[in-house]
Chain A
Amino acid sequence: MTDFINGLLGFRRGPWEMLASILIALGVVMLMQPFVLWLYSYSFVVTLVGTVMFVIVSHFRE
């Protein structure tokens, strides 16, 4: 966990890509879940933030 936070603070690609991946996956689950409408409503924002973050952080150094 400490490595993950240090990686985020040091702008390393691995932890940031992991964070972006979690956001994308969360957004897709929110989009397609059948339980709560407001989760569906915010799903696109979460997926968009994750996707844009993924594109940006994939240019960070390893």
Chain B
Amino acid sequence: MTNHAIESAAKQTPDGLARRIRGLSDRAIAWIFVAPTIILLLAVNIFPLIWTIRLSFTNFRVNRPNKDVEWVGLRNYERILSDSDIWNTMQATAHFLIWTIVLQVLIGFTLAYLINKKFKGNDLWTTIIVFPMMLSPAVVGNFWTFLYQPQIGLFNYAIAFFTGADPASFSMIGDVHLAPWAIVIADTWMWTPFVMLICLAGLRSIPDSIYEAAECDRASKWRQFWTITIPMALPFLMLAVLFRGIENFKMFDLVVQLTGGGPGNTTTLTSIDLKREAFERWRTGYSSAYAVILFVTVFGLASIYVKALNKVKER
């Protein structure tokens, strides 16, 4: 804003208000600026969290608002933590979480390492690799459903080409042993570019002078990789793991579109199960307790992870 614009705005401020503002301390003015954000955060984040915790101790059902709400204490938590179906859901989530992170970090870092080398068509390849990340999860889910079709799916034909098996002899989505891997592959295809971009930022932040110094000391490429590249890119790698970990713990849309949680419950992740409890069976109190358990788990994990990340950055 130019001085003239500021002066004209000041002139337009009513005398009474201007006098009142002039009388405020710096601290009070700072609070006036920060207050809208704090109020918004309280209304949008903190209040629903507290309300959810409160509901988790009741038998409230949102589809029966006129029914008396009973305080059930810890009963919802007891039921969730002794339910073997939810236990299986946790295991399915763990399988999905561990394998997607491992594959995405390995492939993402490798791609970033290759893209970081200067070659012709570098930018074009970056754009092509990043493309899956730009698609909507619903589109990717549909797209992979077709790829996994036993009769017409390209994925089955590619596997058949390499293994010699009949493409119609296996169904990635319909088989209880293959379906968990089907969602891992689709998520890895979609989100590896994201990990690659973060790793690429990390690799590009390493000054060339460090490698030049290592060359002068006759350090081999292998040694340079383990003692320069990996330690200096580690904070970025950890950041990528944090983002993907939190995101995949909440994974919903892609898996619902791809398998719908089936066959049976083999790909029912916690977020899918939670949605069913809350909005299909309408057990609001019960699902609130479920949500609190997931929240505490993610919050706890994120806390120790951020601490570890800060330690790595301090080194």
Partner of B87, one of A37, A51, A54: A37
Within 8 A of B (CB), among A18-58: 20-21, 24-25, 27-28, 31-34, 37, 40-44, 47-48, 50-51, 54-55
Contact A21 B307 (CB under 8 A): yes
Please pick, from B94, B293, B299, B303, the residue contacting A44 in the complex, using a CB distance under 8 A: B293
A13 vs chain B, min Cβ distance (A): 10
Contact between B93 and A51 (Cβ–Cβ < 8 Å)? no
Q: Which of A31, A41, A54 contacts B82 (CB 8 A)?
A: A41
Inter-chain contact A54/B300, CB cutoff 8 Å: yes
Contact A43 B81, beta carbon cutoff 8 Å = yes
Interface of A is mostly: helix
* B199 CB, nearest partner CB in chain A, Å: 25
Decide if B87 touches A40 in the complex (CB within 8 Å). Answer: yes
Min CB gap A61→B, angstroms: 16
For residue B227, give the distance in angstroms from its CB to the closest CB of chain A: 27
Residue of B77, B93, B296, B300 with most chain A CB atoms under a 10 A cut-off: B300
Tell whether A40 pairs with B81 under 8 Å between CB atoms, given A21-B304, A32-B93, A54-B304: yes
Separation in Å of the B74 CB from the closest CB of chain A? 10
Binary interface encoding of chain B residues 87-102 relative to chain A, with 1 for a CB under 8 A from any of its CBs, else 0: 1001101100000000
Give the distance to chain A from B305, nearest Cβ to Cβ, in Å.
Answer: 9
Residue of A nearest to B93 (CB): A32
Cβ of A41: which chain B residues have Cβ within 8 Å of it? 81-82
Q: Which residues of B contact A48 (CB under 8 A)?
A: 296
> Which residues in window 78-121 of B have CB below 8 A to A?
81-82, 84, 87, 90-91, 93-94
Per the bound structure, the CA–CA distance linking A26 and B13 in Å amounts to: 60
**A50 and B300: CB pair below 8 A?**
yes
Q: In this assembly, does B301 line the interface, its C-beta being within 8 Å of a C-beta of chain A?
A: yes
Residues of A within 8 A of B303 (CB): 24, 51, 54-55
- A28 adjacent to B301 (CB under 8 Å): yes
In the complex, which residues of chain B have a beta carbon less than 8 angstroms from the beta carbon of A20? 304
A43, B91: Cα distance in complex, Å: 13
Q: What are the residues of chain B within 8 A of A33 when measuring CB–CB?
A: 91
Q: Does B297 contact A (CB under 8 A)?
A: yes
Given A21-B304, A25-B304, A40-B81, is A51 in contact with B91 using a C-beta cutoff of 8 Å? no
Q: Are A32 and B94 in contact (CB under 8 A)?
A: yes
Enumerate chain A interface residues (CB-CB to B < 8 A). 17, 20-21, 24-25, 27-28, 31-34, 37, 40-44, 47-48, 50-51, 54-55
Instruction: Enumerate chain B interface residues (CB-CB to A < 8 A).
Output: 77, 81-82, 84, 87, 90-91, 93-94, 293, 296-297, 299-301, 303-304, 307
Other 10 A-B pairs with CB < 8 A, given A24-B300, A51-B299: A20-B304, A24-B304, A28-B300, A33-B91, A34-B91, A40-B81, A40-B90, A42-B81, A44-B293, A55-B303
Shortest 10 CB-CB contacts between residues of A and residues of B: A32-B94, A51-B300, A24-B300, A21-B304, A41-B81, A34-B91, A40-B87, A54-B303, A32-B90, A47-B300
